[in-house]
Structure 1
Amino acid sequence: MAEARSAAALSFAVTHDGVSVSYDQELLRDIWHAFQRGYKRRIGRFKNDFMAGMFPANSLTFSLVVSAIAIFSVLKRDLSFGIVPFLQHYILHYIFGDGLVGLGLSCLVAGALVWFLLVQLLRLSIKLLLTYKGWMYESPGKPVSTSTKIWLGILHFISRAQPMLHSFQGALPHLPLPKLDDTVRKHLLSMRPILNDEEYAELEFLSERFRKGVGRRLQRYLVLKSYLSTNYVTDWWEEFVYMRQRSPIMINSNYYGFDTLNEHPTENQASRAANITYNALQFRRMVDRQEVSPFSISPRTKVPFCTMQYERLFNTCRVPGEEVDRLLHWDDAKHVAVYCRGVWFKVIVHNGKRLLDAVELQDQYDEIVAHTFEPSEGEKNLAALTAGERAPWAKTRRAYFRAGVNKTSLNDIERAAFVVILDDDEVNYDPEDPSKLDRWAHNLLHGKARDRWFDKSFNWIISKNGHVGINTEHSWGDAAVMAHFTEWVLLQDVVYSGYDENGRCKGDSKVKISPERLKWEIPEPALEQINKSLTVAKELIDDVEMALLVWTDYGKGFMKKLRVSPDAFLQMTLQYTYFKNQQKFSLTYEASMTRLFREGRTETVRSCTTKSSEFVLAMCDPKKTASERVLLLRAACEKHQELYRDAMCGQGVDRHLFALYVIKRYLEEESPFFDKIFPPTYLLSTSQTPMNQCEADMKGLSTEARLRLITAGGGFGPVADRGYGVSYIVAGEDTISFHISSKRSADNTSSREFREELKRSLIDMKKLAEGVANEKKVDVNVVANGNGKAAQ
């Protein structure tokens, strides 16, 4: 339709009176506004990228350098390292002579060159500064070392220059490549708790052979790659772990996030969708303008993190391929794609002059919610293609969605800023009925398979009664960035944007735009593949079991009283729970991030250690006292924190082994070591959802207002066929939420049983502190009684 209108905007006709020109003034005005917006965005992006690349320098420092060179040149002193005399006497002399014009231009050009060189030296110094990781290993509660104080002071000083989103990106250090000997040694230690003596001896022998043999050759190739690439593992990780995955990404890869638990600002589905869409687009504008803080993950310490993933948050879609998928990103999108009761729509969010307000978006959503269209053949189940196997979807897309109305409509979905799902179901949180939260998690993780576009970077899911959630494709980015975005949008929606007394968006509409229904002509072979994909997806859905737990008996405050890290405390609790549930220890995956380095993504913390197993066995031994158990708990937590710090500092095990394995496959080398250990099977896969990334936006909020924003975090599907997936979030001083997933087809797992065991474990962990307190009271009484008898 847009192409037809453009063609009609300007037309020529030859008549008896000459050439007649007719045009649509309104449409030409729209085209002009679109052109203006395009070049303004390009200029703005260039300016922001330039300023970010020159950080911490700015126009003031440029003026100072040029002025200093000019003043000293007038005083016959050269600060330009000979550049001014060279330009003045050998180049500009032939154009402007020896006057002030030539001198001024020489000073300007020389000043720019000197300023640029000084900026690059400064950024190189910042890069060297950021290689320091000693601050990570400072013990909590103990005095900070002098070197770390100086380091933090310098960073705080630099941060006063008001860095933009990507200001530190070029100055971040490259991910360091661990030494082969260190990785082999750490891997061996991580396997000790789960192997018997005979198995461990065999692995020890294979590890030594690998370390002295083929491992050396693989490491040399990896050293070369680390020198020639920004990050030695990220490109391979994205390709082989995500893009070459041929199984469905629904449940297996995509993850989800929750709405606030204690706040339900409106039950009007269209209003909530409009406010969420508007605030999400405000965040997109902040990313485009680089107004998001590069310290958003760590606002207090001012340590910058890699911000690459923010660029791929919007206007991004994963496109299927027969062997490997592609991740496509567009610079701009003026619409979002919306699915409602089997029909797809295109909602305009920018009218060529400005972003539409929430109340103007609500008009479009109202029309969609009230629609009476019947889905065209195949349209209702079309999205099931993104929930099934990747190769059949790629073939179907190439054969039937590359021309005509199908191509146009598919482009409108894939090139949208994001997707909004106006769901048919109502969801709720009821502390007295956990099954409601379980159903909500199932709804966000997979829905009905046909009502989510799983390839899109994310889908906002708006329930019929106004609750929201999000489903996220994993290849473009990790949970930390998604959690930051979701937290910001919910904060704006609940606290700042709000709704009127009728639950509608605030304000008055200034423009009226109707949504556009997408059209489809789906042939029979494509319909057959849609049904096949839907069948595959439904089998996956029927096999997954979700069980959620919102624990309010205690939270972060209690854990700190035990003088242990909250994350380490919960990891030990999960180890204890898993052992009681399975009667054995297993390889455990905990995700940590490596975004202290450029293009860093994640690393694995192998949480099951000899220290953690000793603690768990002590918890199961009735002869052990509370004091003995607490000492073992602290030792296990300290070991866990050591591993977590190593992982964040690029000294983990798994990504290094993964990269070595990829090279081994390229070279077609034989390796009994890799045959034994690869791929690792994590029967317990865990992840913590970060929060409080919007502290700057939450300043001034009361404790009561902050409690309104508590969320259950998010979760993911089971990673191993016979294992558990557990995500958790420490949502406050007295709230922890857990998301437990497993497969119903496995005879050894049950998410609901794990949840009940987890409750008992959390109670046992609390009794530790009480037990230690009671033992101290007994000791005090014994001493007091003893002293009393001695005095008598």
Structure 2
Amino acid sequence: MPVLKKESLEKTADKSCEDAEILPKLPIPPLQQTMDMYLKCMKHLVSEEQYKKTKQIVERFALPGGVGEMLQQKLLEKRDNTENWIHQYWLDDMYLNNRLPLPVNSSPAVIFARHNFKDTNDHLRFTANLISGVLDYKTLLDLHALPMDYARGQLSGQPMCMKQYYGLFSSYRLPGGNKDTLVAQESSIMPEPEHIIVACNNQFFVLDVVINFRRLSEGDLFTQLLKIVRMAGNEDERLPPIGLLTSDGRFEWAQAREMLMKDSTNRDSLDMIERCMCLVCLDAPTGMELNDTNRALQLLHGGGYDKNGANRWYDKPMQFVVGRDGVCGTICEHSPFDGIVLVQCTEHLLKYMKNSPKKLVRADSVSELPAPRRLRWKCSPEIQGHLASSAEKLQRIVNNLDFTVYKFKNYGKEFIKKQRMSPDAYIQVSLQLAFYKCHRKLVPTYESASIRRFQMGRVDNIRSSTAEALTFVKAMVDGKSTIPDTEKMQYLREAIMAQTNYTILAITGMAIDNHLLALRELAREHCKELPELFTDEMYLASNRFILSTSQVPTTMEMFCCYGPVVPNGYGSCYNPQPEHILFCISSFRECKETSSTMFAKAVEESLIAMGDLCAKYNTKPETPIKEKKTKSQNGHKS
């Protein structure tokens, strides 16, 4: 294990604190700017009649001295009195108020490269190494010694808020009847003896990782994991698969948890899980072909109640899955942190494991270590009924998810950069083109944009379905044979410029979604009834994100994926690499209009068509390249 030098850690921690202090508060856009941008974002996505109706509603809302100005003033006061005016509203709206089950609907997964374990010992040595990496990273967190993140891409170099990292191993999502609670545990340099929970054969075991103020070595961890596997294999001790309850709807799980809490044995078991650092799930072999798609499915939902779906506890932010057949990765409860924080953490762990000395880990201190403890449960007939219902609903989720991993191999982000275009903006436009190819329309689209440049910043939304994107996709599909390539190229550049400009608005705190959300929630607090702006059909449609997208780039061999956010939608997570682009595309089988395979094919066709257009355009000497290059360079640093 690498030795952490106290002096250097203290210096890093001090530097982190200094940088955190200089972060500005999230700004509030002018009211009229947001109203104008809202109309602009939606005008080409709704009927003319609907747009005219909404325009009048917006104008009444924004009248001088009207309800909009009153709410804007309340928001300005909130900004002055809080670290971040949107933080709690956003957290509640995005996560804690959502009553849907966490698997697929909310929790993303990161899939590692497949491992070939020779035997059980090899499997558990890898797991011990992973746990050791977690403890190493947790030490950095406890000492506040993580180096500061700085913005990449657009407006790069600015320091980023680090607060989310401290929720990785010290938070828990507690289910509630109407709303969940995000519980945060304060970590300290000298914590009480800490533990992780190991799930194996749908049973849960407490593995203390600090005993007598000493962190367990990899040999110790390996010893304890061997004991857990043996204990989990004892058929006589098998208990009900209580983890299934956490895969249910949040209201149903809250009800079941309340019943469990009536018994002291259950209370003790729940307490140990809710206070643990993380879960490590030792999964049984899936019995499936282990391609990227099937490995991702194992992480997203575990394959159902009869596979590894009950070998989970979905409320815990970090669950590391290590399958006996080499399916490995992380499934996370998303409310405490965003995707890039998850990726940074997992990349640290993989680098730690890669750089660990390649020695044969043997069992250490066998007689000294207390045996891991199996968590016990007392199940009433009502709980048994909840378990049966949860199992059935999880199976429905499994059967409903239409998911595919697609690797576009013709080119990657290096080709796009050579066109003097932002790779992210380019890929976003390709997704709009793919959607138009499939459905002959564009729809409200979500792309997450980090606002960690500000105190306690999380994300805002980049609305990628711009009017310029619609012009481009219509030219490519409807005007395929009638519009000249030079004109299509001009439309492409304008679509990319519109995407880039909105991205800059979002990351600088000037986008519309967080602002509108805060105004709506303040209206609930201060108005007798919700203003018409927030009950209008165009506003409701603007928040149904049929296309939900996110760029999650990685430097290690791994990728991220998630499910759609609406029943008739797509999830599209993409990972641009120098020579290829990986897409994870999800939809629901119950919706007859959507198909993940169809969408992946359309993405491929779109990227090929756009690549051909760029190559063709750039080889024509008569094209006024210089003028357009100048235009495209404005804000296009990738």
TM-score by length of 2: 0.88
Matched, 1:553 2:410: yes
Matched, 1:772 2:617: yes
| 2:473 is the counterpart of 1:603 | no
Shift of residue 367 of structure 1? 2.6
Partner secondary structure for residue 242 of structure 1: helix
Q: 2:250 and 2:156 mapped to 1: Cα distance?
A: 43
C-alpha displacement of 1:162: 7.8
1:320 lines up with 2:171 in the alignment: no
CA distance in 2, matches of 1:720, 1:595: 26
Matched, 1:632 2:491: yes
- 1:684 is aligned to 2:531: no
Amino acid at match of 2:27: P
- Identify the match of residue 721 of structure 1 among 549, 561, 567: 567
Q: How far apart, in 1, do the equivalents of 2:624 and 2:468 lie?
A: 28
Distance apart, 1:199 and its partner CA: 2.5
Q: Which runs of 5+ in 1 are unaligned?
A: 1-43, 52-57, 59-160, 431-435, 693-708, 781-792
- C-alpha contact (below 8 Å) 1:349/1:356 kept by paired residues: yes
Aligned residue for 2:173, secondary structure, equals strand
Distance in 2, Cα, partners of 1:297 & 1:373: 51
Contact 1:337 1:346 in 2 (8 A): yes
- Whether 2:349 is the aligned partner of 1:526: answer no
Q: In structure 2, how many angstroms separate the alpha carbons of the residues matched to 1:376 and 1:164?
A: 51
Amino acid at match of 1:221: K
Q: Can you list the C-alpha shifts for 1:305-349, whole angstroms capped at 9, x where unaligned?
A: 111111111032111122222222333461110111122111121
SS in 2 for 1:167: helix
Higher helix share: 1
Greater relative CO (CA pairs within 8 A, separation 6+): 2
Q: Is the 8 A contact 1:385 1:533 kept in 2?
A: yes
SS in structure 1 at match of 2:25: coil
Deviation at 1:289, TM superposition (A): 1.2
| 1:628–1:710 Cα change, 3 Å | farther
Distance in 2 (alpha carbons) for counterparts of 1:642 and 1:779? 23
Match of 2:606 in 1: 761
- Residues 422-445 of structure 1: CA deviation (Å, up to 9, x unaligned): 111348997xxxxx2221121111
**Alignment-mate amino acid for residue 725 of structure 1:** G
| Structure 1 match to 2:634 | none
Q: How many residue pairs end up in the alignment?
A: 596
Correspondence for 2:295: 440
CA contact under 8 A between 2:278 and 2:319: conserved in structure 1? yes
Q: Name the SS of the counterpart of 1:760 in structure 2.
A: helix
1:464–1:297 CA distance, 2 compared to 1 (3 A): farther
Q: Secondary structure at the match of 1:624?
A: coil
State the AA in 1 paired with 2:552: T
Tell me the alpha carbon deviations over residues 11-47 of structure 1, each in whole angstroms, 9 at most, x when there is no partner: xxxxxxxxxxxxxxxxxxxxxxxxxxxxxxxxx9xx9
Measure how far apart 1:508 and its partner are: 6.8
| Mapped pair 1:260 → 2:113 | yes
1:354 aligned to which of 203, 207, 214: 214
Distance 1:397 1:426 in 2: 29
Contact 1:164 1:290 in 2 (8 A): no
Matching residue of 2:234 = 373
Q: Say which of 205, 211, 214 aligns to 2:62.
A: 211
Rounded Cα–Cα distance in structure 2 between residues aligned with 1:361 and 1:467: 20
Does the alignment pair 1:656 with 2:515? Answer: yes
Distance 1:607 1:393, change over 3 A: same
Shift of 1:403: 4.0
User: Partner residue of 2:632?
Assistant: none
Quick one: distance in 1 between partners of 2:514 and 2:623? 50
Aligned residue among 55, 59, 82 for 1:229: 82
Matched, 1:486 2:346: yes
How far apart are the structure 1 equivalents of 2:99 and 2:610?
42
Aligned residue for 1:242? 95
Q: 1:251 aligns with which of 104, 124, 127?
A: 104
Matches within 5 A, 1:102-117: none
Match 1:308 to one of 157, 160, 163? 163
Query: Contact 1:164–1:292 at 8 Å: present in 2 too?
Result: no
SS at match of 2:449: strand
Is 2:425–2:496's contact at 8 Å kept on the other side of the alignment? yes
CA distance in 1, matches of 2:24, 2:604: 43
- How far apart, in 2, do the equivalents of 1:216 and 1:266 lie? 67
User: Is the alpha carbon distance of 1:426 and 1:326 closer, same or farther for their aligned partners in structure 2, counting shifts above 3 Å?
Assistant: same
Report the CA distance between 1:352 and its aligned residue: 2.2
Indicate which of 281, 294, 312 corresponds to 2:135. Answer: 281
The Cα of 1:515 is off from its aligned counterpart by 2.2
Give the Å deviation of 1:751.
Answer: 0.8
Alignment partner, residue 395 of structure 2: 538
Q: Counterpart of 1:337 in 2: which secondary structure? A: strand
CA contact (8 A) 1:249 1:454 kept: yes
Matched-pair contact (CA < 8 Å) for 2:109–2:330 = yes
**After superposition, where does 1:164-179 map in structure 2 within 5 Å?**
164-179=15-30
Contact 1:587 1:684 in 2 (8 A): yes
> Over aligned residue pairs, what C-alpha RMSD do you find?
2.7
Compared CA separation, residues 196 and 398, structure 1 to 2 (3 A): closer
Whether the 8 Å contact between 1:422 and 1:464 is mirrored in structure 2 is yes
SS in 1 for 2:548: strand
Q: Structure 2 counterpart of 1:629, which letter?
A: K
TM-score w.r.t. the length of structure 1 is: 0.71
Aligned to 1:32: none
**Distance in structure 1 (CA, Å) of the matches to 2:398 and 2:433:** 29
Query: Which residue does the alignment assign to 2:429?
Result: 572
Gaps of 5+ in 2: 1-5, 626-638
The corresponding residue for 1:61 is none
CA contact 2:116–2:325 (8 Å) conserved in 1: no
Over alpha carbons, which structure has the higher Rg?
A: 1
Post-superposition shift, 1:249? Answer: 2.0
Are the counterparts in 2 of residues 627 and 771 from structure 1 also a CA contact under 8 Å? no
Distance change >3 Å, CA 264–CA 206, structure 1 → 2: farther
* Aligned twin of 1:124: none
Give the SS at the match of 2:336: coil
Conservation of the 8 A alpha-carbon contact between 2:486 and 2:623: no
Once residues 481 and 448 of structure 2 are traced to their aligned partners in structure 1, the CA distance between those partners, rounded to angstroms, is 33
Partners in 1 of 2:624 and 2:159 — Cα distance? 49
Assess if the C-alpha contact under 8 Å between 2:219 and 2:364 holds in 1: yes
